[in-house]
Amino acid sequence: MKRPVALALAALVPALACAQEVTLRLVSAFPENQHYVKRTTDWIEKLNKEAKGTLQINFIGGPKAIPTFEVGNAVKTGVVDLALSTGAFYTNVMPEADILKLSETSAAEQRANGGYDLINRIWAEKGNMRYLAKVVEFTPFHLYLNKKIDKPDLTGLKIRITPVYREFFQTLGASVMTTAPGEVYTALERGVIDGYGWPIHALFDLNWQEKTKFRVDPGFYNAEVSLIMNLDKYKALPPKVRQVLDQESLAYEKQNDYWKSYNQNEAKRQAQAGIQTISFDAATSKAYVEKAKDVGWANAIKASPQYGAQLKKVLEKAP
Ligand code: 173
């Protein structure tokens, strides 16, 4: 009697191990109608098909599920497993989160030059997070305005910001107000703000073109949106599941060239929607972009004496 039972058990164990499908919960710090979320839910759908029996991702929702600026802490503490966010939304977890906007090297280059590993060391130590993949890049930020300016002077203007733009716009004389993307439309409608910082794209997702007169050129910095994960959860994944997640995340990151043509189109769409561009002479434009960068790095190094300079080495393009 003894042997058949043992044999049956031995046969059962690997079967049980294989049958373990892991389900992870993902939230978005961006509103659900934003293009980023559509791309991410498409990615999830594909992953759920390909990794059936191994890994499933369950999209919980956008800021209605977890408010934009609380998503980072939700990932850190494991309230959710995964999030789609930008670093600017979780500087309350660690100031380093907002430094990635200063990237001049691409995500692919950062995987090769030690940047990705450094980011993951910092994200693990300070945020209890795994930085899985960057899924938006090659995308400058711009200043959008409803009042005309003829030089980069924002004195007397109230501008909606996130940490991305704070020091730069303040240096230009603006008074600033932090809001999540979901609150910008109403602020514009009520005339509470004279403008806002935002990438070159995704303005239409939230209908801001209806309430926007000008875009200031050139753009500055490089928008970073990524998939982040609770580190304990990541470490506890069976190796096979972790491998699938890493692979699928990398595959998503590798699509980032998408944004180059998308952004050109978005600029055209803005012009068609009647958004006028404000630009300065060449010297002023150059000084504007340099100021953004200088102010950004000065603040990064002040905010993170520990890692600011190390990040600069891997994010900055060699001159
Ligand atoms: O303006 C913002 O809300 C912001 O910081 C951001 C960052 C990356 C992509 C889109 C918006």
Backbone angles phi, psi at 230, to 5 degrees: -60, 125
B/e letters for 265-293, b = 16+ CB within 10 Å, e = fewer, are ebbeebeeeebeebebeeeeeeebeeebb
Measured CA to CA, the distance from residue 94 to residue 122 in angstroms comes to 9
pLDDT digits (tens, 9 = 90+) for 164-189: 999 999 999 999 999 999 999 999 99
Residue whose CA is at the smallest distance from ligand 1 atom 3? 181
Secondary structure, 3-state, the chain: CHHHHHHHHHHHHHHHHHHCCEEEEEEECCCCCCHHHHHHHHHHHHHHHHCCCCEEEEEEECCCCCCHHHHHHHHHHCCCCEEEECHHHHCCCCHHHHHHHHCCCCHHHHHHCCHHHHHHHHHHHHHCEEEEEEEECCCCEEEEECCCCCCCCCCCCEEEECCCCHHHHHHCCCEEEECCHHHHHHHHHCCCCCEEEEECCCCHHHCHHHHCCEEEEEEECCCCEEEEEEHHHHHHCCHHHHHHHHHHHHHHHCCCCHHHHHHHHHHHHHHHCCCEEECCCHHHHHHHHHHHHHHHHHHHHHHCCCCHHHHHHHHCCCC
Side chain identity, residue 175 = S
Q: 29 C-alpha vs ligand 1 centroid, how far in Å?
A: 10
pTM of the predicted model as reported, rounded to 2 decimal places: 0.94
The ranges of the chain with pLDDT < 70 are 1-19
Our answer on whether the CB atom of 222 is closer than 6 Å to any ligand 1 atom is: no
Q: 46 C-alpha vs ligand 1 centroid, how far in Å?
A: 26
Most distant CA atoms of the chain, gap in Å: 91
pLDDT value for 1: 43
The residue to mutate among 139, 164, 178, having the most atoms of ligand 1 within 8 angstroms of its beta carbon, is: 164
pLDDT value for 129: 99
pLDDT value for 5: 53
Distances, alpha carbon 144 to alpha carbons 56, 73, 255, 274, in Å: 39, 30, 28, 13
Backbone angles phi, psi at 261, to 5 degrees: -75, -35
Terminal-residue alpha carbon distance, the chain: 76
pLDDT value for 318: 78
Our answer on whether the CB atom of 88 is closer than 6 Å to any ligand 1 atom is: yes
